[in-house]
Amino acid sequence: MCTYQTTSLGVRGSGKGAGGWFALSDATVYFDHPVHADAPHTLNIDLRNPARGPAARVAVELDPASARDLARAILATLEEAPAPLRPDMKP
């Protein structure tokens, strides 16, 4: 069953692909059938720069438990960073 649950957003950062590092401008997060991961459904994350063509893409497929663990780790790491280093975050 396909969920078609998709969230797209603009991002700022860099990704590394086969051709080296490139700027990222777009992210898409969706829950669906994986292409490669060994799981019936995965949380899929595509980080891209469409202006640089299809090769400017980093893709991730995570089983639900791994996706939740990663989300918690990201939030915890951001919260633990010293406030002066994260001026865009609200206290």
Question: Which residue from 12, 25, 84 is spatially nearest to 57, judged by alpha carbons?
Answer: 25
pLDDT of residue 5: 86
Residue 88 has pLDDT above 90, yes or no: no
Sheet of 57-62: strands edge to edge?
Answer: 5-17, 20-32, 42-48, 57-62
User: What are 15's two structure tokens?
Assistant: 């990704």
Distance CA 13, CA 59 (A): 15
- Segment 73-80 shows an average pLDDT of 93
pLDDT 10s digits, 20-43: 999 999 999 999 999 999 999 999
pTM for the model: 0.85
Count of beta carbons in the 10 Å neighbourhood of residue 76: 10
Nearest to 43 by CA among 30, 52, 55, 28: 30
Please say if the pLDDT value at position 2 is more than 80. Answer: no
